[in-house]
Structure 1
Amino acid sequence: MGLAVSFEDIEKARETLSDKVLRTPSITAPALGEALGVDLTLKLENLQRTGSFKARGAYVKLASLSEEERRRGVIAMSAGNHAQGVAYHATALGIRSTIVMPAATPFTKVEKTRNFGATVVQYGDTLAESREKVEELVTEHGYILIHPYDDPLIIAGQGTAGLELMQDVPDLDTLVVPIGGGGLISGIALAARHFNPNIEIIGVQTEQYPSMYQALRGEEPQFGGETLAEGIAVKVPGKLTMKICSELVSEIILVGETEIERAVNGCAEHQNLVAEGAGAAGIAAMLKEPDRFAGKRVGTVICGGNIDQRMLATVLLRGLTRHGRLARLRIDITDQPGTLARVAGIIGKSGANIVEVHHQRMFQDVPVKKAELEVLVETRNPDHVLEIVAELDAADLKTRVMSNMAMETAPL
């Protein structure tokens, strides 16, 4: 029995999508690639109008509906990116859309979905619980379900990203693609293997939600917990996508939150790209297993850029701390006039910038004639932090570094 989608289906989807989605650029990423030790190409699906690749499959599916189905309206369950793709194209096609999203979906994704014209219903803690609400609403109103990944038209639509990437960069050795339910990697794998039967396809999932990884090994599903890559936090992979992945995907790498966070930060710092956690998962895989990719021509899809602004700010600040460019120092001082000015003078003379100061006398185990200063300073690197500490210690101001710094050289 063959696969549910063929390369010809992807070509038809490309024709259907003509002028309906952006043909996103495939760019070389020399700074990021050098940091990772690979010849790197990025397919920038974060530049789509809806911020992710999901707009491709959503339009192909919606365009296939009959007039009677369009009158009934459509429904989807999504934590954000599929929601926006369905809402945007449904509104453009004059189709009513209802999107069921988990209660904890980031505000920015909820508001963007509403702004694209959908009715948003927030229900449950997970997509599995949202699915229960979808089934209830389908029974009540007769809506047409637009599945996020386990549908041949959806898979074909997502595969157009791989078709474009291979047309742009046909000599890639390896493709690294994030996996949630498997729609994107299935479509891309089908397209890529048409152009290059020997190209290696590697998937990426989070350690918290390794659904496809476990399913392909016949293991009992085990998942749960918070993840920065909520876009691929899928508990149950698709049946169609599972079959395609079993035949075309050579390996699935599981990445932790540290790698995902570093990948998001690396995209911003080295390439000036905003990527959500799921969107940067391919970079996270290269961080997790650098020897696996060293020296190869690697392509990956920055599959989404819909990250909450507060979360992005936190990731960037934590990156500065990790690289020793933002450090929190705790300094023991004598509680007398002029001491704070003395500390500020030493730090300023060293070339660092004081960002924040907290003066603690009352609530810790501090002698009555002493105090503690917590000072947040902007610095050049970890060595600069240690220089500041040494200068403060030399002035009888005992100082400890309270922030976590990577003292060894890290790629991102």
Structure 2
Amino acid sequence: MSAADLPLSVDDIYDAQRRLRGVAASTPVLAHPALDEIAGRTVICKAEALQRTGSFKFRGAYNAMAALSPRERRCGIIGASSGNHAQALALAGHLLSVPVTVVVPHDAPEGKVNGTHTLGADIVAYHRQRDDRDAIVAQLATDRGLAVVPSADARAVIAGAGTVTLELLWQAPILTVILVPVGGGGLAAGTAVAAKHINPRIKVIGVEPASAADTYASLRAGHITELPAVPDTIADGLRHTTPAALPWQINKTLLDDAITVTDAQIVQAMGWAFQHLKVVTEPSGAVALAALAGLNSQPGPVGVILSGGSVDLDAFHRLVATPPPRKEPALA
């Protein structure tokens, strides 16, 4: 599949940027010499942990909801999420006066669930190991007449996520590489479309936890690969067993590579972000930064997307103070 045949164009991302103007925060880029030393090159971090609701997810949720018809907005929307997309949907619904229902795993971080509830969303819990999340969403959507807004598998959501990189490359046009976390793949797909449009020579590299490397495995197999079980990783937002279908169509064409990091490396990166950039990141939000030390790609400045910071104080302190053992090797 050529870039021209992809299910998302840069025009979709520019449309999303217009919808988000004055609504989403234009998050800063941050740098520190210590990170340059770790990577052996200039490092520029896009601090989406400072976005509204604490992650990049707000961009895609708001763009998707704003693009709905008036009738769809009146009926309401439903989505599934481990927390960040849920909070993003809840805030977007609040701003646009759209009723929101979110289907959330039983073990989702309490702070994310509480944040979603505070913003007025209706919460439905499910069990990761026993229940079919997508079936629950589909049934509720049918029963209640709700529009589904997925966390990654929708053009408008991917387009909203792509605005992160439009901003990043406007703020730091010197970049030759971008490191982006990969869960369902929507942020990576939006990043790749935006980056390759602006600079076709830029390298876009996805980063996953070693125990949740479904996109890594799929790229190497040449087709979607499903992990045998729900991954065990501290990066709760990246516990996917298989790439989402629409982002996969983009990522298999435009991603230059995918690499993996251990949970211990993720916690180390959370410490780097806090110590050097004064930014609190959740484990999922620090995954791309964790890849700095082992980055093997073309030389030149590297951009790192710090995708989220939705972590409560106790969890952050516990992780950084007592990091997990280095039990799993990185696959990169």
TM-score, length-scaled by structure 2:
0.91
Measure the CA separation in 1 of the matches of 2:258 and 2:38: 22
Per the alignment, residue 304 of structure 2 pairs with 300
CA distance in 2, matches of 1:63, 1:220: 33
Q: Going by fraction, where is strand more abundant, 1 or 2?
A: 1
Following TM superposition, by how much is the alpha carbon of 1:126 offset from its aligned partner in structure 2, in angstroms?
Answer: 5.6
Query: Alpha carbons of 1:260 and 1:28: their partners in 2 closer, same or farther (altered >3 Å)?
Result: same
Distance 2:164 2:224 in 1: 31
Q: Does the C-alpha gap of structure 1 residues 219 and 142 become closer, same or farther in structure 2, counting only changes over 3 Å?
A: closer
Matched, 1:311 2:315: yes
Asked if 1:39 corresponds to 2:46, the answer is no
| Aligned partner letter, 1:157 | G
Q: Structure 1, residues 301-350: CA drift from partner, whole Å, max 9, x if none? A: 1000001322211122126xx9xxxxxxxxxxxxxxxxxxxxxxxxxxxx
Work out the CA distance in 1 between the residues paired with 2:253 and 2:68: 30
State, as a whole percentage, how many aligned pairs show the same letter.
35
Give the whole-Å Cα distance in 1 for the aligned partners of 2:134 and 2:7.
23
Choose from 236, 246, 269 the match for 1:230: 236
Cα gap change, 1:220/1:154 in structure 2, threshold over 3 Å: closer, same or farther? closer
Question: 1:244 corresponds to which letter in structure 2?
Answer: I
Change in CA separation of 1:197 and 1:19 when aligned onto 2, cut-off 3 Å: same
State the one-letter code of the partner of 2:226.
P
Check if 1:212 corresponds to 2:215. Answer: yes
Residues 126, 231 of structure 1: CA spacing in aligned structure 2 closer, same or farther, 3 A cutoff?
farther
Mapping of residues 47-86 of structure 1, within 5 Å: 47-86=50-89
Mapping 1:106-145, distance limit 5 Å: 106-125=109-128, 129-145=132-148
1:229 is displaced (CA, Å) by 0.8
Query: 1:42–1:302: 8 Å Cα contact kept in structure 2?
Result: yes
Q: Does 1:274 align with 2:277?
A: no
* Alignment partner, residue 247 of structure 1: 253
Give the distance between the partners of 1:133 and 1:309, measured in 2 at CA. Answer: 32
The alignment status of 1:7 with 2:7, answered yes or no, reads no
For the residues of structure 1 that align with 2:268 and 2:110, how far apart are their CA atoms? 23
Larger radius of gyration: 1
Cα shift readout 1:146-194 (whole Å, capped 9, x = no counterpart): 0111111111111011000011111111000001111101111111111
Unpaired runs of 5+ residues, structure 2, are 326-332
RMSD: 2.0
Structure 1 residue 24, shift from structure 2 partner: 0.7
Q: C-alpha displacement at 1:293, in angstroms?
A: 5.4
Query: What residue identity is the alignment partner of 2:243?
Result: P
Which of 136, 161, 166 is equivalent to 2:169? 166
Shift of 1:26: 1.6
What is the SS of the residue equivalent to 2:107?
Answer: coil
1:220 Cα shift?
Answer: 4.4
Task: Quote the residue 2:195 is aligned against.
Answer: 192
Q: Give the TM-score, by structure 1 length.
A: 0.74
